[in-house]
């Protein structure tokens, strides 16, 4: 008689027994798998002389190390040659990397690489195209030069530099001349760019200020006299608002006005466009409805700088235009609440123009500032404003999440800003008559329009845009012509030869 006995073993015990019985095999397999990998890796000592700054981001293989030529020690490299003096005086005759020049009794040291790169002789700069004929990267790292004081009939007091190691392809007779005036300006410009105060002659205005200083110019004078044009552009740069009267009754007049400054900005609206009411308008401006304070084309990467609006027909009741200085309001907001100001400088607002044939989309803060905060005399580093509620797109979903308070903060700050913008004493209202044109800075001055009755007459404006590069180019040309100086990046630069 046989008997059979059975023992019940819990499942977890079976699992642990299986793990113990296979643990050696598992470890052995892991070792066999990993062994070739570790053996193929080089020893740490083999990479002791490796540096990403010298050899690049990737460690060299054994074959690459064997084929790599031996590096010369630093003292043998050309860039460390110290046989010649590092700084030489004018008329000393010695070649050096730097030249010391006496300017107004002070010794100013210039790197010869800077002086060589700035050469404007006909071999270095084409006299017709004004284009540079060599690259900065062509200048030898071991460049040396010596300087002699001379008198140049065109430039006056100057220095002439002779190069011992010139750019490849230039003959030994090549010389570089720089006037003392040019060197003086280079020094002063460098000081200002390195943290000094920026020049800023913008004038912030309210109703009374612009009413007192507003400028009206005659069309013919504007079109034919450069002094009048300079007056117009200077005023636009300071106040951002200008009016021109006696404009001919022609659709091409606005083209002539804008072209006097430079090339017109072409957009999907066309080179020019008509502001007149029409049914099923694709833009609220083409309706007779009230249009609040706003700026144009903030949904594009580079919104226009100047906007021209020429009144061809003004025969309806209503339709008055009014303007507000957004810079002045932002300046007031900053004094009222630094927190509100910072919020509008950082909170992202999206603008869009979304139609079947066009889809523009751009996000930017309400207030944009220059890198430096030291601007005289306004003490305001605002570079541009972005405010266009009619063309605002929905915010990103994350901004409206339950854990985000940024939207509420923005609403509070924007409410305070809007109150300043639309404050009655900050608005300048004017009804354009036929034959008048308003020109304003689209990145600073907000414009709006009151509702009008399109059934009782015609209201027709012809518009055009000009970009900021075009405007400032013409302004600098006229500044140099009439004032002998011009401004760029907040720095006054005197015209010198």
Instruction: State how many domains the chain has.
Output: 2
Residues 383, 291 share a domain: yes
Residues 220, 203 share a domain: yes
Residues 313, 175 share a domain: no
Q: Is residue 95 part of a domain?
A: yes
We report the CATH number of the domain holding residue 154 as: 3.30.2020.30
Residues 292, 188 share a domain: no
- Which of 160, 192, 224 terminates a domain? The answer is 192
Residues 245, 119 share a domain: no
pLDDT at 116: 96
Q: Is residue 45 part of a domain?
A: no
Rounded to whole angstroms, how far apart are CA atoms 345 and 239? 22
Q: Is residue 9 part of a domain?
A: no
Q: Is residue 341 part of a domain?
A: yes
Name the token pair of 193: 């760019």
Residues 229, 158 share a domain: no
72-94 pLDDT per residue, tens: 544 433 333 344 458 889 998 88
Residues 223, 162 share a domain: no
Q: Is residue 23 part of a domain?
A: no
We report the CATH number of the domain holding residue 434 as: 3.60.130.10
393-441 pLDDT per residue, tens: 998 877 767 667 889 999 999 999 999 999 999 999 999 999 999 999 9
Give the distance from CA 220 to its chain's centroid: 35
Rounded to whole angstroms, how far apart are CA atoms 272 and 262? 14
Residues of the chain with pLDDT under 70: 1-85, 190-197, 277-286, 372-380, 400, 402-403
- Which of 166, 192, 218 terminates a domain? The answer is 192
Q: Is 173 exposed, middle or buried (0-12, 13-18, 19+ CB in 10 A)?
A: exposed
Rounded to whole angstroms, how far apart are CA atoms 404 and 198? 37
Structural domain boundaries, residue 327: 198-496
Residues 277, 354 share a domain: yes
- Taking alpha carbons only, the member of 325, 312, 294, 327 closest to residue 449 is 294
Q: Are 434 and 319 in contact (CB under 8 A)?
A: no
Q: Is residue 356 part of a domain?
A: yes
Q: 438-470 burial, b if ≥16 CB within 10 A, otherwise e? A: bbbbbbbbbbbbeebebeeeebbbbbbbbbbeb
Residues 224, 185 share a domain: no
Integer CA distances (angstroms), 97 to 106, 119, 163, in order: 19, 16, 10
pLDDT at 25: 42
* N residues, the chain: 497
Residues 183, 326 share a domain: no
Residues 351, 450 share a domain: yes
Angle between helices 326-336 and 406-421 (to 10 degrees): 120
- Which of 139, 159, 192 terminates a domain? The answer is 192
Rounded to whole angstroms, how far apart are CA atoms 227 and 476? 13
Residues 332, 453 share a domain: yes
Q: Is residue 11 part of a domain?
A: no
Q: Is residue 391 part of a domain?
A: yes
- pTM of the shown model: 0.76
By DSSP bridging, strand 241-245 and strand 216-218 are: parallel
Q: Is 364 exposed, middle or buried (0-12, 13-18, 19+ CB in 10 A)?
A: middle
């Amino acid at each position: 008689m046989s008997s059979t006995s059975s023992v019940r073993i819990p499942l977890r015990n079976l699992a642990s027994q299986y793990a113990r019985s296979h643990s050696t095999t598992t470890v052995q397999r892991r070792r066999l798998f990993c062994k070739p990998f570790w053996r193929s890796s080089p020893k740490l000592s083999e990479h002791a002389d490796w540096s990403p700054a010298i050899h690049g981001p990737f460690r060299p293989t054994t074959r690459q190390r064997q084929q790599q030529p031996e590096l010369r020690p630093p003292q043998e490299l050309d860039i460390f040659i110290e046989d010649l003096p590092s700084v030489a005086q004018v008329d000393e005759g010695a070649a050096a990397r730097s030249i010391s020049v006496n300017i107004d009794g002070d010794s100013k040291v210039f790197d010869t690489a800077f002086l060589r790169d700035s050469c404007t002789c006909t071999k270095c700069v084409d006299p017709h195209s004004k284009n540079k004929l060599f690259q900065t990267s062509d200048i030898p790292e071991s460049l040396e030069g010596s300087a002699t004081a001379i008198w140049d009939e065109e430039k006056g007091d100057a220095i002439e530099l002779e190069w011992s190691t010139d750019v490849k392809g230039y003959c030994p007779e090549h010389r570089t001349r720089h006037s003392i005036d040019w060197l003086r300006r280079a020094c002063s410009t460098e000081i200002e760019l390195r943290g000094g105060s920026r020049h800023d002659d913008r004038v912030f205005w309210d109703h009374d200020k612009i009413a007192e200083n507003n400028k009206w110019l005659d069309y013919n004078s504007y079109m034919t006299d450069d002094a009048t044009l300079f007056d117009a552009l200077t005023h636009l740069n300071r106040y951002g608002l200008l009016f021109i009267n006696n404009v001919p009754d022609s659709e091409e007049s606005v083209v002539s006005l804008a072209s006097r400054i430079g090339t017109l900005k072409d957009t999907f609206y066309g080179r020019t466009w008509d502001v007149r009411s029409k049914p099923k308008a694709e833009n609220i401006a083409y309706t007779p409805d009230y249009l609040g304070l706003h700026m144009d084309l903030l949904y594009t990467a580079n919104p226009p700088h100047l906007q021209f609006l020429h009144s061809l027909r003004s025969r309806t009741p209503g339709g008055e235009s009014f303007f507000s200085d957004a810079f002045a309001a932002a300046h007031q907001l900053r004094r009222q609440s630094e927190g509100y100001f910072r919020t509008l400088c950082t909170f992202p607002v999206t603008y869009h123009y979304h139609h079947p044939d066009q889809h523009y989309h751009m996000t930017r803060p309400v207030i944009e500032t220059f890198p430096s905060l030291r601007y005289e005399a306004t003490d305001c580093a605002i570079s541009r404003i972005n405010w266009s509620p009619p063309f605002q797109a929905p915010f990103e979903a994350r901004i409206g999440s339950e854990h985000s308070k940024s939207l509420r903060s923005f609403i509070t700050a924007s409410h305070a800003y809007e109150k300043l913008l639309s404050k009655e004493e900050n608005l300048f209202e004017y009804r354009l008559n036929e034959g008048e044109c308003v020109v304003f800075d689209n990145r600073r001055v907000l414009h709006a329009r009151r509702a009008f009755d399109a059934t009782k007459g015609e209201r027709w404006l012809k518009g055009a845009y000009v970009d900021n590069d075009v405007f400032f180019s013409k302004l600098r040309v006229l500044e140099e012509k009439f004032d002998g100086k011009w401004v760029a990046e907040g720095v006054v630069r005197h015209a010198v030869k």
